[in-house]
Chain A
Amino acid sequence: MSARDAILAAVRANRPQGDHPLPELPIFPFAAEGGLVEPFLRNLEAMGGHGVEGGDIEGILRAQFPQANVIASAVPEYRGNRDLAQVSAPNDLADVDVAIVRAEFGVAETGSVLLPDTALTVNAVAYLAQHLVVLLAPDAIVPTLQEAYRRPEFHRHRYASFHTGPSATADIEGVLIHGAQGVRSLSVVMCPLKTGS
């Protein structure tokens, strides 16, 4: 018998007694009177992210990363100097200082942004870059993770990742370090989607 058939036969033979129906999932309310942007930004900051309420991308990049040499952009709002479409292997991106991408949506409850493969062009750019800047449309924020998982993205994309703040570790004595392996900082810029783009 193949391993597959043996395992399937064993789990069927050992099926636990009793009736265990699959529950319906209720949606629990999320208390946010003044809209979702404020709790989103607050929760993002608590996770070590940096929220920017708006402004021009050029100015934000210049102010935050004056030293940046290599900027890879996956958004029409900013022209970087590294074309992600021309990357032949992910490790070509090892020298990227700043990557700029657009999130599909945000989650107020946690301050997370969803970055699918199509938004990244090369998945690895979101981890190999030293810093990550994410554009998020203020009207693309859902209240909680429960609503987030009702969205279609999870059925469409081969890869999609919630980023909530930068790469972090406190594996040594509980001291928090940003930039454990991936990006050292994550900024989320509130930036409406341009109509037509």
Chain B
Amino acid sequence: MSGSEEPRRAEDGLPALLHEDLHTADDGGARGSGGERLSHGEATSRPLQPPAPEPQPRGAKLYHRKPVDHNEAAQRFIDAPRHAKMHDERLWDLRQKRDGQMHGLPEWEDLRELASTIKQHTLSNLGDYLEQFESQAKANGIHVHWARDGAEHNRIVHGILADHGARRLIKSKSMLTEEVGFRDYMASVGIEVVETDLGERIQQLDEEAPSHIVVPAVHKLRSDVADVFARELGTDPANDDVHYLAEQQREKTRPLILEADAGMTGANFAVAETGTFVVCTNEGNADLSANVPPLHIASIGIEKLIPRITDLGVFIRLLSRSALGSPITQYTSHFRGPRDGGEMHIVLVDNGRSARLGEPEFWQSLKCIRCGACMNTCPVYRRSGGLSYGATYSGPIGLILDPSFDRRRYSSLPFASTLNGSCTNVCPVKINIHEQIFAWRKVLAESHDIGWSKQAMMKAAGTVLSHPTLYRASIATAEGALKLLPDFMVANPLNSWTARGRAMPDAPKETFHQWYERTNGGKEEPS
């Protein structure tokens, strides 16, 4: 079965921890009415020990017109072992939970195939579906706007807010608004933006981008959150109890929600048949943002279209299972028109999507439903942290999306991969992610305006993958890494991962192949 890996199991039948020293008996998380520990949402399937505080490693340093140095930032993340371990463990756990859901659904592979086919169909008839969506939404009383790029999106939203004299906007998490620099723009025109998702709020207060598209603050420890909240919200700096921190955020955000002039959400899906858009959250914060203020604005990328309401039966079944290993998010909300006395606007945003549609090797990346499964399974992502990519999107999906926004800045990213294919195997819409990463390497290597030496390219993926202890764990869990790696790639300089010390400063003593044979593919050696 594709995407399935047999994990090592502990005595209780749950997957064993990658890092045994994180083991604890209880984490104080929510329990069911029978006293049993619950693990829905993005909760870990077994309790983890909070590591002792340690300064948080920060993300990639960004310089004007220079490629992001993922390698340098990844090294700093690895050098913060408590953060690195916790990050690795939590994401691998999401991946294991996802496998559990997959095994519980015999039609899993059929659903993936359907999801992929529906998306391919929609994308190849996108003009018609966008028009249908627009006319349905308008008929339902929604104002529909179109934005060619991020700047146009920001201007349109500003215009709507200005028309209403809105000074404060509450919003739910949306990768599109990250992509278009929305918060910075709003700050420049004097409109207060309040993120209402806990993880995203943490990131906003700490002036960091989200490090993961589903769990934005997954790279932070509770001690980091306590620092940020003490500084920005005036909470007790000595109290890093997770319940305390979450409750403080609830209490401090609620008055802002109640008095907001407008609310903003993204959308996970937009249904052409009915003009409906669908928003999935665990916190219910999108529903607060949409239903409390009188004005609701939804920013929607044009690739979010699907033809029919019944198609949601495929996508909603796959989304949260792939993302979190939970059968559904706590809230799945369908917006088809403004409520009585309310006003609803949709901004349909292109921002490079129509151009990507015309690239035969890359258009299928538009099928992405932003579940994050490819990130959770990626050994490089898990070991380096999302902020080391220095881009809106990180992990495998980031490697194939970011260069199309800025080829030069993100030219090193497609090299931050083992090409082990695990991302492709878990993708619920069957994007050939690792093949697209390889295709980007070719495009970038042939592109003369990048200013990368071949050696520098090789180094790019070097650090994470040349630490034996690091990649051992990753490979031990990566299904058939070798099977999926064609011979020509092994000897290809574009595949820096197998460069094996040729140009890497920190080459492993034992080559991957030797290690693989000795340990029977990692099965006989604990990570």
Interface residues of A, Cβ cutoff 8 Å to B? 2-4, 6-8, 10-18, 20-23, 25-26, 28, 43, 45-48, 50, 89-91, 94, 109-112, 117, 123-124, 126-128, 144-150, 154-155, 157-183
Nearest B-chain residue to A177, judged by Cβ? B246
Inter-chain residue pair count (beta carbon < 8 A): 300
B475 to chain A, nearest CB (A): 24
Residues of A within 8 A of B4 (CB): none
Instruction: State whether B313 touches A159 (Cβ < 8 A).
Output: no
- Contact residue among B28, B199, B354 (Cβ-Cβ distance under 8 Å from A14): B354
Residues of A within 8 A of B246 (CB): 169, 171-172, 177, 180
Given contacts A171-B217, A173-B222, contact A127 B310 (CB under 8 A): no
Q: List 12 A-B contacts (CB under 8 A).
A: A2-B146, A14-B358, A20-B117, A22-B307, A25-B310, A47-B40, A124-B291, A163-B331, A168-B330, A171-B216, A175-B27, A177-B242
Given contacts A149-B312, A177-B246, 7 further A-B contacts (CB under 8 A): A11-B354, A48-B38, A162-B333, A168-B41, A170-B29, A171-B217, A182-B287
Instruction: State whether B198 touches A172 (Cβ < 8 A).
Output: yes
Residues of A within 8 A of B312 (CB): 145, 149, 154
Residues of B within 8 A of A177 (CB): 29-30, 242-243, 246-247
Instruction: State whether A154 touches B48 (Cβ < 8 A).
Output: no
Instruction: State whether A128 touches B292 (Cβ < 8 A).
Output: yes
Near A by CB (< 8 A), chain B positions 11-64 give 27-30, 32-34, 38-44, 48, 50
Near A by CB (< 8 A), chain B positions 46-102 give 48, 50, 86, 90, 93
Given contacts A10-B355, A11-B130, contact A112 B152 (CB under 8 A): no
A125 to chain B, nearest CB (A): 9
Given contacts A47-B327, A159-B333, A162-B331, contact A169 B283 (CB under 8 A): yes
For residue B380, CB closer than 8 A to chain A, the reply is no
For residue B267, CB closer than 8 A to chain A, the reply is no
Residues of A within 8 A of B329 (CB): 164
Nearest B-chain residue to A12, judged by Cβ? B127
Residues of A within 8 A of B262 (CB): none
Nearest A-chain residue to B326, judged by Cβ? A47
Nearest A-chain residue to B293, judged by Cβ? A90
Residues of B within 8 A of A162 (CB): 328, 331-333
For residue B227, CB closer than 8 A to chain A, the reply is no
For residue B5, CB closer than 8 A to chain A, the reply is no
Instruction: State whether A43 touches B221 (Cβ < 8 A).
Output: no
Instruction: State whether A171 touches B313 (Cβ < 8 A).
Output: no
- Contact residue among B28, B117, B199, B225 (Cβ-Cβ distance under 8 Å from A23): B117
- Contact residue among A28, A126, A180 (Cβ-Cβ distance under 8 Å from B285): A180
Instruction: State whether B339 touches A16 (Cβ < 8 A).
Output: no
Residues of A within 8 A of B41 (CB): 48, 168-170, 176
Interface string of B458-490 (1 = CB under 8 A from A): 000000000000000000000000000000000
Instruction: State whether B358 touches A13 (Cβ < 8 A).
Output: yes
- Contact residue among B274, B276, B288 (Cβ-Cβ distance under 8 Å from A181): B288
B264 to chain A, nearest CB (A): 15
Instruction: State whether B287 touches A123 (Cβ < 8 A).
Output: yes
Nearest 10 Cβ contacts at the A-B interface: A182-B284, A14-B358, A146-B313, A171-B199, A174-B44, A10-B354, A158-B337, A176-B43, A176-B29, A180-B283
Q: Which of A111, A148, A170, A171 has its CB near the most chain B CB atoms (within 10 A)?
A: A171
Instruction: State whether A171 touches B354 (Cβ < 8 A).
Output: no
Given contacts A173-B50, A174-B42, A181-B196, contact A16 B287 (CB under 8 A): no
Compute how far the CA of A66 lies from the CA of B148 in the bound complex, rounded to whole angstroms: 55
Near A by CB (< 8 A), chain B positions 243-290 give 243, 245-247, 250, 253-254, 257-259, 274, 276, 282-285, 287-288, 290
Residues of A within 8 A of B282 (CB): 167-169, 180
Instruction: State whether B288 touches A124 (Cβ < 8 A).
Output: yes
For residue B334, CB closer than 8 A to chain A, the reply is yes
Compute how far the CA of A148 lies from the CA of B316 in the bound complex, rounded to whole angstroms: 11
For residue B317, CB closer than 8 A to chain A, the reply is yes
Compute how far the CA of A46 lies from the CA of B328 in the bound complex, rounded to whole angstroms: 11
Residues of A within 8 A of B350 (CB): 7, 10
Given contacts A47-B326, A91-B258, contact A167 B284 (CB under 8 A): yes
A180 to chain B, nearest CB (A): 4
B27 to chain A, nearest CB (A): 5
Instruction: State whether A171 touches B215 (Cβ < 8 A).
Output: yes
Instruction: State whether B32 touches A48 (Cβ < 8 A).
Output: yes
Residues of B within 8 A of A25 (CB): 114, 310-311, 313-314
Residues of B within 8 A of A173 (CB): 27, 48, 50, 86, 90, 221-222, 242
